Amino acid sequence: MKRVVPVVGLLVVAALFGYPFAWLVSASLKDRAHVFDNSLLPVPFSPGNYAEVWRAVPLTTWIANSVAVGLAAAVAATVASAVVAFGFAAFRFPGRNALFGVVLATMMLPGAVTMVPVYLEWHALGLGTTQIPLWAQNLFGSAFYIFLLRQFFLGLPPDVLDAARVDGAGPWRLFTRMALPLARPGLIVVFVFELKAAWTDLVKPLIYLREPELYTLPRGLKTVLDRYGEGGEAQWELVLAASAVATAPMVLVFLVAQRYFVRGAVTQHLE
């Protein structure tokens, strides 16, 4: 019973979380008359919804834009946050704790507070209608990711770093050759977190993107919703098909990276 009860509980929770996605996929494969019948079996089966929505809107372009923006945002956030986190973890300098407290305090500042001044800065630089603002802000790091990676770096064996210093390794070599390989689970967690955040972000594309060929998937889905989700003859099966296309990549990414999530959680727990 000690093994059966947890497994049953996990299956129930998994079913609750998996049902919305299963319903989405099922509804996207139905015709217009049966899209909201709450059956998980797509009867009648209408896979042509995907081909139709693919012909109606430039999904390929939006997917390519989301991949480019997501990878740029994830790489920028991971690298910048790792550099700052290693500095806080490995070096002693006056005011270190106070400065780290200031970094953490920025998490208390809602993004809506800085939205307008940040837009004005990008507009003054002539980049207010490009994709650059969607990822370039990550070059300054993220307070949450800095905190997360700092905990990983603090958990590294100090003897290893001390031995590298004795052998003449400088700060950058300590970071790239010693700290980064040992903190790989944490780096992958940060990368996936930011990739998912950039992939699903709608607010910034709504603010900065004007041209349809620059749209990311969330911004493109807003266009699909406006076109097919209103009026008496709304084609919700097409909206749901486009939503399934946008959701599936993140599900696959998490399935590939889930072991690093588990390893990172275990590492943090042991620390």
Query: What fold, for 57-270?
Result: MetI-like fold (1.10.3720)
Q: Identify whether the C-beta of residue 82 lies closer than 8 Å to the C-beta of residue 152.
A: no
Selection from 254, 245, 247 nearest residue 191 by Cα:
254
Tell me the DSSP string of 32-50.
GGGTTS--SS-SS--THHH
pLDDT at 265: 54
pLDDT at 232: 58
Tokens coding 186? 């944490």
Task: Report how far residue 145's alpha carbon sits from residue 257's, in angstroms, rounded to the nearest whole number.
Answer: 17
Q: Identify whether the C-beta of residue 147 lies closer than 8 Å to the C-beta of residue 104.
A: yes
Tell me the DSSP string of 195-236.
HHHHHH--HHHHHH--SGGG--HHHHHHHHHHHHSSSTT--H
Tokens coding 236? 């919700």
Task: Report how far residue 262's alpha carbon sits from residue 122's, in angstroms, rounded to the nearest whole number.
Answer: 38
Q: What is the mean pLDDT of each run of 10 residues along the chain (271 residues)?
A: 90 93 92 86 89 92 96 96 91 89 89 89 92 94 91 81 77 83 87 93 93 94 88 82 92 84 56 49
Task: Report how far residue 179's alpha carbon sits from residue 232's, in angstroms, rounded to the nearest whole number.
Answer: 59
Which DSSP letter does residue 15 get?
H
Enumerate the domain spans of the chain: 1-46, 57-270
pLDDT at 231: 64
Tokens coding 175? 């970071």
Query: If you search the block for the tokens 């009648």, which residue do you land on?
Result: 44
pLDDT at 269: 44
Q: Please state the pTM of the whole predicted model.
A: 0.86
Selection from 133, 25, 141, 30 nearest residue 88 by Cα:
141
Q: Identify whether the C-beta of residue 185 lies closer than 8 Å to the C-beta of residue 264.
A: yes
Name residue 79's amino acid. V
pLDDT at 266: 52
